[in-house]
């Protein structure tokens, strides 16, 4: 007999981990699948997002030590200051969020899966049926759907080494071929990311493109920083907008739904916001199923006891103890900490962000100022 769960979340970046955490707190049987292969890189998180994650209890005290960094941005020839961002190592950040989902009761499987209507197929070939599947595979998820794509851009990232006395700071710079983000972590290390047209007229190797970009930006950066090695992380960074899903048993969330231009600096904020929106959709669909309004696919999220056994690829199967579907909802401070702990009162089908939303986001050059 196939395995069942209330919710399978494929992808354990911020969108998937927050979605799994929210659903597990609602008492759903949740399986979160992620290969745990996030590449080493630094991203900037807004203090607002960090504060929300802390208040909501997702980040255990001391689990993540973001580096606060004042930010300078060069726009129209003028250097602006006054803002700051929190620098986080993404693998550590993603681990912290997945750990929160596991603490809330989600089963975290290390591996890959593919969504299909009413189920996720694990890398091992095992089929995990679920009332709802969230596709949180990031841009890889978006790539599997009809997608609207902005200008083809690529981001090259690499570690730099420099004077240990250089304090933490970030610098955002436009230059001839694109724009750069320098994230000085202190202690003589910095992450440099340059975002360029995907097509390179010189057809240079990524390390050479990055070195050329660094040379063009050097006058505006702290002195003495050089690439640590030839290692370059190449990521697609074109804005993407997924088509509206026609099957509500597999919903895209986060970048799998819409991936915004990294120049905004708000990708993680967006993707967590998307998880909060997806939670409202999940609760609405479950309420409709419970009321018999929507035909259920795979396992229902009803309140009877159930068993769920899930394969951990490479290490056999793990069994869930039978569990009631919904413990009491969080109340008091915990409920206030999360704006989405109450179920929605209206039942409306989910919709993807409009093309207008995409256009405004992609066209805003100063969002990272």
The total of other beta-carbon atoms located within 10 Å of residue 267's CB is 21
Helix or strand (DSSP H, E) at 344: none
Degrees, nearest 5: CA angle 149-150-151 = 125
> Does the protein bind ligand FAD through residue 144 (CB under 6 A)?
no
Binding-residue total with ligand FAD (CB under 6 A): 36
Query: Which of the stretches 137-145, 215-223, 303-311, 353-361 binds ligand FAD when contact is defined by CB under 6 A?
Result: 137-145
> Does the protein bind ligand FAD through residue 153 (CB under 6 A)?
no
Least spacing, CB of residue 361 vs ligand FAD, in Å: 12
Please identify which residue in 3, 16, 338, 341 interacts with ligand FAD, judged by CB under 6 A.
16
The total of other beta-carbon atoms located within 10 Å of residue 61's CB is 6
> Does the protein bind ligand FAD through residue 35 (CB under 6 A)?
yes
> Does the protein bind ligand FAD through residue 13 (CB under 6 A)?
yes
Burial class of 78 by CB neighbour count within 10 A (0 to 12, 13 to 18, 19+): exposed
Least spacing, CB of residue 36 vs ligand FAD, in Å: 7
Phi, psi values for residue 313, rounded to 5°: -50, 130
> Does the protein bind ligand FAD through residue 135 (CB under 6 A)?
no
Structure tokens at 132: 């709802």
Nearer to ligand FAD (CB atom), residue 157 or residue 298: 157
> Does the protein bind ligand FAD through residue 267 (CB under 6 A)?
yes
Nearer to ligand FAD (CB atom), residue 59 or residue 113: 113
> Does the protein bind ligand FAD through residue 353 (CB under 6 A)?
no
Q: Where are the alpha helices (DSSP H) in 231-349?
A: 267-290, 332-337
The total of other beta-carbon atoms located within 10 Å of residue 304's CB is 8
> Does the protein bind ligand FAD through residue 31 (CB under 6 A)?
no
Nearer to ligand FAD (CB atom), residue 289 or residue 368: 368
Query: Which of the stretches 42-50, 52-60, 124-132, 316-324 binds ligand FAD when contact is defined by CB under 6 A?
Result: 42-50
Give the C-alpha separation, 276 to 4, whole Å: 24
Give the C-alpha separation, 95 to 131, whole Å: 26
Nearer to ligand FAD (CB atom), residue 28 or residue 88: 88
Composition of the chain by helix, strand, coil, percent to 5: 25, 30, 40
Listed residue (133, 140, 342) closest to 236, CA to CA = 140
> Does the protein bind ligand FAD through residue 145 (CB under 6 A)?
no
SS3 label, residue 5: strand
Listed residue (57, 50, 31) closest to 338, CA to CA = 57
Least spacing, CB of residue 127 vs ligand FAD, in Å: 14
Least spacing, CB of residue 41 vs ligand FAD, in Å: 8
Please identify which residue in 5, 43, 221, 361 interacts with ligand FAD, judged by CB under 6 A.
43
**Cβ–Cβ under 8 Å, residues 233 and 158:** yes
Structure tokens at 77: 């020839």
> Does the protein bind ligand FAD through residue 343 (CB under 6 A)?
no
**Cβ–Cβ under 8 Å, residues 190 and 162:** yes
> Does the protein bind ligand FAD through residue 37 (CB under 6 A)?
yes
Give the C-alpha separation, 306 to 269, whole Å: 35
Site string for ligand FAD, 91-130 (x = CB under 6 A): ---x-----------------xx-----------------
> Does the protein bind ligand FAD through residue 11 (CB under 6 A)?
yes
Residues in the site for ligand FAD, rule: CB under 6 A? 10-16, 33-35, 37-38, 43-45, 94, 112-113, 136-138, 140, 155, 193, 235, 237, 254-256, 262, 265-269, 271
């Amino acid at each position: 007999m196939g395995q069942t769960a209330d919710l399978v979340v494929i992808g354990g970046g911020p969108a998937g981990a927050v979605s799994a955490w929210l659903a597990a707190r609602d008492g759903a049987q949740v399986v979160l699948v992620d290969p745990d292969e996030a590449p080493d890189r630094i991203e900037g998180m807004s203090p607002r997002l960090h504060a929300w994650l802390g208040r909501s209890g997702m980040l255990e005290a001391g689990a993540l030590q973001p580096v606060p960094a004042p930010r300078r941005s060069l726009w129209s020839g003028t250097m602006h200051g006054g803002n700051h961002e929190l620098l986080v190592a993404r693998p550590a950040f993603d681990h912290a969020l997945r750990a929160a989902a596991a603490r809330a009761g989600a089963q975290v499987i290390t591996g890959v899966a593919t969504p299909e209507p009413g189920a996720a197929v694990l890398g091992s070939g095992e089929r995990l049926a679920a009332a709802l599947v969230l596709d949180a595979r990031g841009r890889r998820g978006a790539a599997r759907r009809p997608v609207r794509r902005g200008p083809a851009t690529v981001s090259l990232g690499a570690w730099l080494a420099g004077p240990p006395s250089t304090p933490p700071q970030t610098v955002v710079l436009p230059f001839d071929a694109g724009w750069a983000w320098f994230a000085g972590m202190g202690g003589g290390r910095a992450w440099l990311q340059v975002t360029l047209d995907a097509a390179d007229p010189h057809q240079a190797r990524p390390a050479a493109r990055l070195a050329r970009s660094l040379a063009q930006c050097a006058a505006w950066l702290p002195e003495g920083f050089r690439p640590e090695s030839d290692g370059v992380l190449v990521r697609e960074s074109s804005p993407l907008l997924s088509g509206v899903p026609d099957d509500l048993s597999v919903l895209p969330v986060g970048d799998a739904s819409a991936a915004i231009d990294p120049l905004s600096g708000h990708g993680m904020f967006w993707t967590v916001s998307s998880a909060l929106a997806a939670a409202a959709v999940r609760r609405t669909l479950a309420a409709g199923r419970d009321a018999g309004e929507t035909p259920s696919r795979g396992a229902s999220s009803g309140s009877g006891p159930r068993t769920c056994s899930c394969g951990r690829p490479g290490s056999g199967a793990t069994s869930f103890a039978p569990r009631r579907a919904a413990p009491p909802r969080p109340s008091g401070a915990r409920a206030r900490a999360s704006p989405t702990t109450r179920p929605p009162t209206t039942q409306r089908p989910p919709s993807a962000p409009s093309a207008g939303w995409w256009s405004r986001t992609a066209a805003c050059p100063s969002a990272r100022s």
